[in-house]
Structure 1
Amino acid sequence: MRRSEFDRAVADEFGARGGAVTTDLVLSGVGDRTAVEALAAGVPPREVWLAICVETDVPEERRYGVGRLEPRRG
């Protein structure tokens, strides 16, 4: 997962609350840091995304493959 895909996944799942989720929610899965802190420390975006999903009870079907753009139709 790229950082842009992470940002898109957060926006799609949490909407206007996405900023608060990444700056305020402390994630035990990434060393008791916020998503912003974890990303700045070099934790891969996929790992941070999955930690957010665990902490906020995002259903399994919305955890994997999110954030990717739909393929272009030719």
Structure 2
Amino acid sequence: MREAELRSRLAGHLGDAYSLMWSDTVVLERLGHRTVSEALAGGVPCKDVWLAAWEALELPARDR
């Protein structure tokens, strides 16, 4: 998964503007208490970031 796909998935679930804000402000335990943006900047693979976001947002299994 590439970052563009990750961002697209987040926007699809949260909306364009809110997904950007959410990525910059919501701290996820699964990402080592970092935000999506911090995790990506720190080199965490996009797939791992997506799984953490998917879990935090309690999205359906089909979106995993």
Q: TM-score, normalised by structure 2?
A: 0.90
Report the structure number with the largest CA radius of gyration: 1
Instruction: Give the fraction of aligned pairs with identical amino acids, expressed as a percent.
Output: 38
CA distance in 2 between counterparts of 1:55 and 1:20 reads 15
Rounded Cα–Cα distance in structure 1 between residues aligned with 2:21 and 2:49: 15
The number of residue pairs the alignment matches comes to: 63
Aligned positions of 1:53-72 closer than 5 A? 53-63=54-64
TM (normalized to structure 1)? 0.79
Which is worse superposed, 33-42 or 2-11?
A: 2-11
Match of 1:5 in 2: 5
Gaps of 5+ in 1: 64-74
Aligned to 1:66: none
Query: Which one-letter code corresponds to 1:20 in the other structure?
Result: M
User: Could you say which structure has the greater relative contact order, defined with CA pairs below 8 angstroms and 6 or more residues apart?
Assistant: 1
